[in-house]
Amino acid sequence: MKIHFADIAWSDAPRFWLANARIPVCLLANPAMSADVDPEGVLRVDVLVEDGKIARIVPALDARDDAIARVDLGGRQVWPTLIDVHTHLDKGHSIERNPNIDGTFNNARLAAAADRQNWKAPDLRRRMGFGLRCAHAHGVSAIRTHIDTYHDNAERSWPVLREMREEWAGRVDLQAVSLCPIELLMESFGDRVAAIVKESGGLLGGVTRPAIGTHGAPQANIDEQLDRLFALAIRHDLDIDLHVDETDDPAAATLPIIAHSALRHGYKGRVVCGHCCSLAVQSESEIDRTLDLLAEADISIVTLPTVNMYLQDRRSGRTPRWRGVTVVHEMIKRGIPVAAAGDNCRDSFYAYGDHDMVDTFRQAVRILHFDHPLSEAPSLVASVPSRIAKFEGHGLIGEGAPARLIVFNARSLNEIVSRPQADRVVLEGGRRLAAKLPDYSELWADDDLPGTTAAAE
Ligand SMILES: [Zn+2]
């Protein structure tokens, strides 16, 4: 029987079967039932939803002779709502006001620093709220955002973050990481940053490039900088999430130094490193040595494929020669956890995006060659980031978990990767989510749109 997606009768009942669903095994909390898995690593199941939670997952049957309502999905894919484990909600949607004149990393950095003066609470609320509404409507239920934490804005941005986290709890769960060049933490400011992070329930972060400049060879005092970072983290019992080696300069090799530092300070399993682009342009033996260290220090990696492809190897008037991403396949082969995430959205570091992790997933598959087979690809944006960031109740479909799900008008992973999935249905607490994408006019009124003639008049 053919069931058209538009004809599916979604249920508001407290108890119903999501029948005839396909779920990738890598997204199941209990993959033990995976006997009848198809060549894409996908299993056909019926899912019992009860009081907003997943009560049972059983092999699919054409008919069940119980009296429970049945929503027949016609063999379509069901995923958990997704996780964006590395983004910058505080910078997002500032592109019209603050464009990057040539798309390079250095001008992105300068433009972002200049824009921070505009980050008063109402501006932050408006742009962060817009980003969260986009993510929510797209089926993203957990976000780890980095928050620029400099002398000029730390005291303004974190209260807004705490407010938004409260407001969005249960719809989009938020984690936050402080972000500034780690050399700034060497001063007494480092104590203030760690205290703000602690009182906000966040993570200690930072970027390993110099305060003024771009990523390159490690700074002479990098060990002291890292000792200070780890000392602050240990004092306040904070996990760490860093921006590392975001360049194609092979001399940028901070990653193994961070791994040594994590081992020296007994911080195994508590450090996440994002980007790590330059590792991909180092020699095979250097890559090998660094991967050994990452595995030993139990460091998790986040790759940001769309932003790496945008910023890396960009020179005006010249066609880029490389994709900018780190050695994801090699890391996974070593057992190093790797997640993919969205990073910047419509700001000076990345001009595009909509906080849509399905879009990030589809692009990641292509940029990373994470296909043939596609079977493990969904874990990059769901189960792995859930584990890396300890997002309880997100990223896996299992009995007892909240029924926060995405139903795709697609039966195979190939069908998911091939189309934008703009017609996906998001379920929250088992109910079809009514939230729609916010209109751009809610961000800036047309006559207020920065950079336009109307706004300039
Ligand atoms: Zn970032």
DSSP state of 446: G
11 Cα to the center of ligand 1, angstroms? 39
Per-residue pLDDT at 35 = 64
85 Cα to the center of ligand 1, angstroms? 10
In a domain, 407, yes or no: yes
Q: Are residues 157 and 179 in the same domain?
A: yes
185 Cα to the center of ligand 1, angstroms? 18
Per-residue pLDDT at 215 = 87
243 Cα to the center of ligand 1, angstroms? 6
Question: Final residue of a domain: which of 389, 404, 422?
Answer: 389
Q: Are residues 86 and 76 in the same domain?
A: no
Q: Are residues 296 and 367 in the same domain?
A: yes
Per-residue pLDDT at 32 = 72
In a domain, 24, yes or no: yes
**In the chain, how many domains are there?**
2
Residue with tokens 């379509």: 76
Under the banding of pLDDT at 50, 70 and 90, the label for residue 185 is: very high
Instruction: Return the active site residues.
Output: 246
pLDDT per residue over 5-61, tens digit each? 999 999 999 999 999 999 999 999 987 765 678 989 999 999 999 999 999 999 998
Q: Are residues 37 and 172 in the same domain?
A: no
Other C-beta atoms closer than 10 Å to the C-beta of 81 total: 26
Per-residue pLDDT at 209 = 87
Helix (H) or strand (E) holding 203: none
Q: Are residues 103 and 234 in the same domain?
A: yes
pLDDT per residue over 321-370, tens digit each? 999 999 999 999 999 999 999 999 999 999 999 999 999 999 999 999 99
In a domain, 419, yes or no: yes
302 Cα to the center of ligand 1, angstroms? 10
Find, among 391, 401, 314, the residue nearest to 357 by Cα.
391
In a domain, 455, yes or no: no
Task: Pull the structure tokens for residue 409.
Answer: 């008008």
**What CATH number did the domain enclosing 30 receive?**
2.30.40.10
Find, among 200, 204, 206, 207, the residue nearest to 235 by Cα.
204
Under the banding of pLDDT at 50, 70 and 90, the label for residue 213 is: confident
Identify whether the C-beta of residue 103 lies closer than 8 Å to the C-beta of residue 415: no
368 Cα to the center of ligand 1, angstroms? 18
Asked whether the predicted pLDDT for residue 445 surpasses 80, the reply is no
397 Cα to the center of ligand 1, angstroms? 28
Asked whether the predicted pLDDT for residue 189 surpasses 90, the reply is yes
Helix (H) or strand (E) holding 109: helix 105-115
Q: Are residues 267 and 185 in the same domain?
A: yes
In a domain, 450, yes or no: no
In a domain, 362, yes or no: yes
In a domain, 214, yes or no: yes
Asked whether the predicted pLDDT for residue 452 surpasses 60, the reply is no
Peptide bond preceding 39 in cis form (omega within 30 of 0): no
Helices and strands, counts by H and E, the chain? 13, 15
107 Cα to the center of ligand 1, angstroms? 15
CA angle 176, 180, 183 (to 5 degrees): 135
**What CATH number did the domain enclosing 355 receive?**
3.20.20.140
Distance CA 178, CA 157 (A): 10
105 Cα to the center of ligand 1, angstroms? 12
Find, among 386, 383, 429, 382, the residue nearest to 404 by Cα.
429
In a domain, 453, yes or no: no
Other C-beta atoms closer than 10 Å to the C-beta of 455 total: 15
Q: Are residues 114 and 66 in the same domain?
A: no
Instruction: Tell me the average pLDDT across 259-276.
Output: 98
Q: Are residues 37 and 147 in the same domain?
A: no
Distance CA 199, CA 192 (A): 11
Cβ burial, residue 456 (10 Å; 0-12/13-18/19+): exposed
Sheet with 140-148, strands from edge to edge, namely 82-87, 140-148, 173-179
Find, among 342, 308, 339, the residue nearest to 323 by Cα.
308
pLDDT per residue over 374-419, tens digit each? 999 999 999 999 999 999 999 999 999 999 999 999 999 999 999 9
Instruction: Tell me the average pLDDT across 244-263.
Output: 97
Asked whether the predicted pLDDT for residue 450 surpasses 90, the reply is no
Q: Are residues 270 and 408 in the same domain?
A: no
* Ranges 65-69, 318-322, 328-332: which has the least confidence: 65-69
Q: Are residues 18 and 133 in the same domain?
A: no
The residues with which 302 forms a beta bridge, in sequence order, are 274, 339
Which residues constitute the domain of residue 44? 5-80+395-432
88 Cα to the center of ligand 1, angstroms? 6
CA distances (Å), origin 218, targets 189, 207, 281, 327, 348: 22, 12, 16, 20, 25
Per-residue pLDDT at 211 = 81
343 Cα to the center of ligand 1, angstroms? 5
Question: Final residue of a domain: which of 389, 411, 444?
Answer: 389
Q: Are residues 187 and 43 in the same domain?
A: no
Distance CA 260, CA 337 (A): 18
Q: Are residues 305 and 161 in the same domain?
A: yes
Question: Final residue of a domain: which of 365, 389, 413?
Answer: 389
